[in-house]
Structure 1
Amino acid sequence: MFERPDAGLAPRIWEVGALCRAIADALQARFNPVAVRGEITGFSRASSGHCYFTLKDGQGQIRCAMFRRAASGLDFMPRDGELVEVRGQLGVYEARGDLQLIVEGMRRAGQGALFEQFLRLKAQLEAEGLFTAARKRPLPAMPRGIGLVTSPGAAALHDVVTALRRRVPHIPVVLVPALVQGAQAPASIVDALSKLYLLAQKGRASEADLPKNSEMPFIDVILLVRGGGSIEDLWAFNDERLARTIVQSPVPLVSGVGHETDFTIADFCADLRAPTPTAAAELVSQPRAVWLGALDLLAGRLQDGVQRQIDLRHQRLDQAAQRLGRPSGLVARQQLRLSGLAQRMRHAALLKTQRLAQSGKALQAHLPQIMQRSLVQRRERLERAALRLSLLNPQLVLRRGYALLTDAQGQPVMRPAQVRPGEAVHARLAEGELDLTVVQRRLL
């Protein structure tokens, strides 16, 4: 049974809600606003957008709530086990009587000092012109080789290789492994890039002297990639020496470091920044189907052009045949020969377009040169044939003082025995025609 104590010592009897409010008021006056450092555990995001978690260390823990408005301002996704610094208001959740911290802001622990270093280096390099757009180079549409710098054990390597194999399996990739996290990472990345630079420079310097079957890799673009992480994880890519090495690249360099919201000094120095490693690979690898479609279009245009040239040459041959006149047998043989040549030319052009359609390399600069040379060769052969036909023209013989005689039936008179005295004959001269009558025959 509840015993009533002495009236002078009796404590005040509180309503539960009133006591919770009084405690909350005391906390508000004594502690708020408050900043706390601790490790996240039990993090969850409700469908409403509010976040709930617990901050703990070796001595204790406290429940936290971060409402949607504050959570929308985060520049990273909190994870269990992550060390963070939060600021907010300490209070009491009256419905359960629990002590809780209403979080109004959060950042990774230690991020503030690192971010200040990042901003100072960024301002310095930007003032020196390392980030200027004028020095950024466009990416090659069809690189002959791709250089890649990343950790051989990183997921980013798998993502990049998978994307390149799917889109451009015919383009070689030269991997130079490097550390991408830790104190030794900046020097390791610089060393890997320097090796790729040397390969790229050697390939360009000796390009004209190398045989076609040379194994010397041609590096036309370089990818520098790493997966996402905290600012500490990506800190190697905020190194000043690395930044100056990147801007010295002899070929365009693409930076694909972290996730879409992550930015490093390397991103600003690179010729192009990709939001992810996979995106970096896609930027330098136009899908093979696109180039094959363009190749089919060019092959169709080439075949149409060749056919037009063949038709034009046929028309010119027909006109030349009409000018030759009577020697139809010889003309027919020449026409047959020319038709054969035209057919062979058409067949050769068809074979060449089929071969070109099977090879993605035909899209490079050699295609127009090959077809132009082929057309020139065919044109010269046709012109030589036309010249030979023109030499057989009887008109050239007539211009030397000879005449072409034909009898009344129009048959050529080649022997005196073909006509009799008194018969009419027709003479075709170089500049006109004569109607004659045979007076006398002489046999030689």
Structure 2
Amino acid sequence: MLQDRLSAAAPRVFSVSGLTTLIKEALEDSFQTVTVEGEISNCRPSSSGHVYFTLKDSGAVLSAVLFRGKARSLAFQPADGMLVQATGALSVYAQRGSYQIVVDSLSLAGEGALLKLLEERKRQFAAEGLFDSARKKPLPAFPRCVGVVTSPSGAALRDILQIRRRRNDTVSVVVLPCPVQGAEAGGRIAAMIRAANEWRLADVLIVGRGGGSLEDLLPFSEEAVVRAVADSEIPVVSAVGHEIDWALSDYAADVRAPTPSAACELVVPEKAGIVRAAAQIADALYAAVRVKLERSRLLVKAFAPESLELRFRTIEQPLLLRFDDAKEALLADMRDTAEAYRRRIENTVRDLKGANPKAILARGYAVVRDAATKTLVRSAAEAALGQTLEIFPRDGVIMAEVSAAKTAATGA
């Protein structure tokens, strides 16, 4: 027993290592297999594949480690806020004088209280439209001043200032100091966002902090902060924690950045890039001006007297040729038309002459009509014996009396 060993060794003074060894042996012998239920917090997967985290409840916390081999067999990814049951052995880490549970198996025991609370808030704010994409505002391309709502003593501010100095030292930074964890943090963060808007202290705001546990990041999910971010007339970049961390301010902000450093990269344009772009635009402008000047010189040169005369002749010659061709075509048309009309007139005159009754009579024909009725006699059948006829040869008139009449058909 540990108590017996301590009593037996009472006269001597223990070294720290000796006492820790006794505690380690006693603790590990007594708790070789134990199952603990608690909420995961400060979960830190390492590059080696091991997972370090804390199990907690309302009264205490317990460090835990899940080694790579056991972590690979899990059916889920451990994350902050999960309520789990961990089975393993207690172990003492002598170098730190702390104890932890080395987890052999890990199973879900239900949603963690914090995670459940955040999900409920998220649904509420989404239903109110605080996360709608229509509310999102674009970030200014060339901000003159960047406001940073964070702790003045935190690593996040140092990273932002360093990156701002490297990228573009002409951009001003206004620090709006506030605590970023604890009971009062949410109200102070919201107050700084509202103050920045009221006094127009910046062109864009970075609201955030460095990494931490789910509890550490909780102020950025409080209702006051989410509403202040959503209502901000100044564009807001939410930069809470590391890439795997999240807060409800991420959803309400105009842009979410994985880290404060990344947020600074987003809002501060690189001065060297602006200078390069300006130089390229200037070169393109000079080139365009040179082209315009050269074209203007050519245009002015084209208005010299000899050039104008040549251009006039070049324009005139085709027109003169077209005029001559048109004149010849018109004259030819007129000749052809006149000839056609002459032939038609000659034919008409000939036809008229041929149809003239006097011409017919001149060829030996005569017109015969009844002397009494003056009707034409066209056939021998129309003549009657004793009928007086008037015969009109080419000249004069002959009076005759019908003594006989015969037709070609009857021969009478």
Q: For the superposition of Structure 1 and Structure 2, which TM-score range results when normalised by the shorter chain?
A: 0.5 to 0.7
Tell me the equivalent position of 2:401. Answer: none
Which amino acid is the alignment partner of residue 238 of structure 2? Answer: S
Which amino acid is the alignment partner of residue 275 of structure 2? Answer: L
In structure 1, distance between residues paired with 2:122 and 2:173? 31
Which amino acid is the alignment partner of residue 271 of structure 1? Answer: D
Larger CA Rg, structure 1 vs 2: 2
Local SS of the residue matching 2:106: strand
Q: Please, what TM-score do these two structures have when normalized by structure 2? A: 0.54
In structure 2, distance between residues paired with 1:63 and 1:264? 24
Tell me the equivalent position of 2:188. Answer: 188
Q: 1:74 aligns with which of 78, 97, 103?
A: 78
Tell me the equivalent position of 1:102. Answer: 104
Which amino acid is the alignment partner of residue 72 of structure 2? Answer: R
Tell me the equivalent position of 1:337. Answer: none
Which amino acid is the alignment partner of residue 74 of structure 1? Answer: P
Local SS of the residue matching 1:247: helix
Which amino acid is the alignment partner of residue 228 of structure 2? Answer: T
Identity %: 36
In structure 2, distance between residues paired with 1:223 and 1:140? 13
Residue 170 to residue 106, structure 1, CA distance change in 2 (3 Å): farther
Structure 2 residue 103 is matched with structure 1 residue 120 = no
In structure 1, distance between residues paired with 2:181 and 2:230? 21
The Cα shift of 1:102 comes to 2.1
The Cα shift of 1:304 comes to 1.3
Q: 1:268 aligns with which of 234, 251, 263?
A: 251
The Cα shift of 1:285 comes to 2.1
Residue 92 to residue 137, structure 1, CA distance change in 2 (3 Å): closer
Residue 92 to residue 274, structure 1, CA distance change in 2 (3 Å): closer
Tell me the equivalent position of 1:301. Answer: 284
In structure 2, distance between residues paired with 1:274 and 1:44? 21
In structure 2, distance between residues paired with 1:166 and 1:244? 33
Which amino acid is the alignment partner of residue 85 of structure 2? Answer: R
Whether the 8 Å contact between 2:150 and 2:178 is mirrored in structure 1 is yes
Residue 319 to residue 185, structure 1, CA distance change in 2 (3 Å): same
Tell me the equivalent position of 1:386. Answer: none
Local SS of the residue matching 2:112: helix
Q: Deviations over 1:368-405 (max 9, x none)?
A: xxxxxxxxxxxxxxxxxxxxxxxxxxxxxxxxxxxxxx
In structure 1, distance between residues paired with 2:178 and 2:284? 47
Tell me the equivalent position of 2:147. Answer: 147
The Cα shift of 1:135 comes to 1.4
In structure 1, distance between residues paired with 2:230 and 2:54? 45
Please show how residues 28-427 of structure 1 align to structure 2 within 5 Å.
34-36=35-37, 49=49, 66=67, 67-69=70-72, 73-75=77-79, 87-89=85-87, 102-105=104-107, 112-200=112-200, 219-322=202-305
Q: Please, what TM-score do these two structures have when normalized by structure 1? A: 0.50
Local SS of the residue matching 1:164: helix
Whether the 8 Å contact between 2:83 and 2:111 is mirrored in structure 1 is no
Q: Deviations over 1:267-297 (max 9, x none)?
A: 1110111110001111112322222222122
In structure 2, distance between residues paired with 1:267 and 1:63? 29
The Cα shift of 1:262 comes to 0.9
Whether the 8 Å contact between 1:64 and 1:102 is mirrored in structure 2 is no
Tell me the equivalent position of 2:391. Answer: none
The Cα shift of 1:250 comes to 0.9
The Cα shift of 1:44 comes to 11
In structure 2, distance between residues paired with 1:246 and 1:39? 28
In structure 2, distance between residues paired with 1:239 and 1:73? 26
Which amino acid is the alignment partner of residue 87 of structure 1? Answer: Q
Q: CA RMSD in A?
A: 4.3
Residue 101 to residue 278, structure 1, CA distance change in 2 (3 Å): closer
Residue 224 to residue 91, structure 1, CA distance change in 2 (3 Å): closer
The Cα shift of 1:179 comes to 1.5
